[in-house]
């Protein structure tokens, strides 16, 4: 399989939704890279996505509010412990309840094991739309990227259930079932439907080569400061159900992103939430 095929899949996704665009620069007076101050970890904020129907996603367990503000670095594992569920959560949704995502401690989980119905349509904003909280955080992060003299391009943000279905049909015809099952989520199992996931590229790398770029290295070092995590790390397909996707970044909020990163550079949302 050609090394760029994964990127082609992402490119098709962009065509399904809209054409590519360069990230807009938005300066922030409170950004740690403007003020020189250390990033602050705010109190735990739910990243449940607000649907157009006004339905609040089901939460199986709530995180403790204490401990988040004390965790300001990647080595604060103990301080982050209170943000994780104490036991393995159980997805008890049935029928119409699947019209909203399975949510654990404020994190919406959408995957092959935790599907969301076609009726779920989050409120999104922007040219490459994201849920409002994710879009705001992403704008702040993109400004920091530009100040570091780097450049990112958005390939894909929110994708509807129908757009994901169209993308998968194309992939099946172009690349076959084995490849498609590994890299293209079935409708109802894609994080893009939540409006909390964004696919990225840079001028010097895209798809399978994105992790060779300076932009990738910057994201690995700083993305958690803005609430984003690498969603599908290398070698963990057995846990996530998806192959390594260096371009796919997921918004979970700053405290949760730092807590996930505190578990390890390649820690997954499933491991953090004790779902794996």
Q: Which string of DSSP letters, residue by residue, matches 66-131? A: TTTTT--STT-HHHHGGGS-SS-------GGGGGS-EEETTEEE-SSSS---TT--B-EETTTTEE
Please report the pLDDT score of residue 182 as a whole number.
81
pLDDT (mean) for 138-164: 97
Was domain 5-23+42-272 assigned CATH 3.30.1380.10? yes
Q: Rounded to whole angstroms, how far apart are CA atoms 66 and 83?
A: 8
> Out of 191, 215, 245, 270, which one is annotated catalytic?
245
Which residue in 60, 18, 4, 59 sits closest to 192, CA to CA?
18
Half-sphere exposure of 93 (CA within 13 A, CB side): 23
**Catalytic (active site) residue 245:** yes
Over residues 37-71, the pLDDT tens digits come to: 334 443 445 666 777 654 444 444 443 332 333 23
**Structure confidence by residue, pLDDT tens digits, 72-121:** 333 445 667 778 999 999 999 999 999 999 999 999 999 999 999 999 99
- 84 phi and psi, to 5 degrees? -90, 150
Using the predicted structure, report yes or no on whether residue 269 has a pLDDT greater than 60.
yes
- Give the mean pLDDT of 24-37: 30
The per-residue pLDDT for range 188-218, each reduced to its tens digit, is 999 999 999 999 999 999 999 999 999 999 9
Closest CA relative to residue 13, chosen from 152, 163, 169: 163
The pLDDT > 70 percentage for the chain reads 72
| Number of helices and strands in the chain (H, E) | 10, 9
**Of 47-61, 89-103, 167-181, 229-243, where does mean pLDDT reach its minimum?**
47-61
Model pLDDT, residue 62: 41
248-251 sheet: strands from edge to edge: 21-22, 153-156, 197-201, 248-251, 228-230
């Amino acid at each position: 399989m050609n090394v760029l095929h994964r990127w082609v899949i992402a490119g098709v996704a962009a065509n399904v939704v809209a054409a590519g665009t360069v990230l807009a620069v938005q300066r922030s007076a409170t950004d740690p890279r403007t003020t020189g101050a250390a990033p602050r970890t705010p109190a735990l904020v739910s990243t449940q996505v607000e649907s157009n129907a006004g339905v609040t996603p089901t939460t199986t367990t709530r995180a403790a509010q204490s401990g988040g503000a004390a965790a300001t670095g990647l080595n604060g594992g103990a301080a982050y412990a209170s943000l994780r569920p104490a036991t393995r959560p159980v997805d008890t949704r049935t029928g119409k309840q699947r019209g909203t995502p399975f949510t654990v401690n404020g994190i919406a989980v959408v995957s092959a094991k935790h599907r969301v119905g076609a009726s779920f349509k989050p409120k999104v904003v922007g040219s490459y739309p994201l849920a409002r909280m994710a879009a705001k955080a992403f704008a702040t992060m993109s400004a920091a990227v530009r100040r570091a003299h780097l450049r990112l391009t958005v390939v894909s943000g929110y994708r509807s259930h129908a757009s994901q279905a169209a993308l998968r049909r194309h992939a099946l015809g172009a690349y076959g079932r084995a490849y498609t099952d590994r890299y293209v989520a079935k409708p109802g199992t894609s994080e893009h439907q939540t409006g909390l996931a964004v696919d990225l590229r840079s001028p010097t790398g895209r798809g399978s080569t994105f992790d060779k770029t300076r932009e990738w290295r910057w994201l690995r070092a700083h993305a958690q400061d803005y609430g984003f995590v690498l969603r599908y790390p290398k070698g963990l397909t057995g846990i996530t159900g998806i192959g390594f996707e260096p371009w796919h970044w997921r918004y979970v909020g700053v405290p949760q992103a730092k807590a996930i990163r505190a578990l390890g550079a390649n820690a997954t949302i499933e491991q953090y939430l004790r779902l794996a």
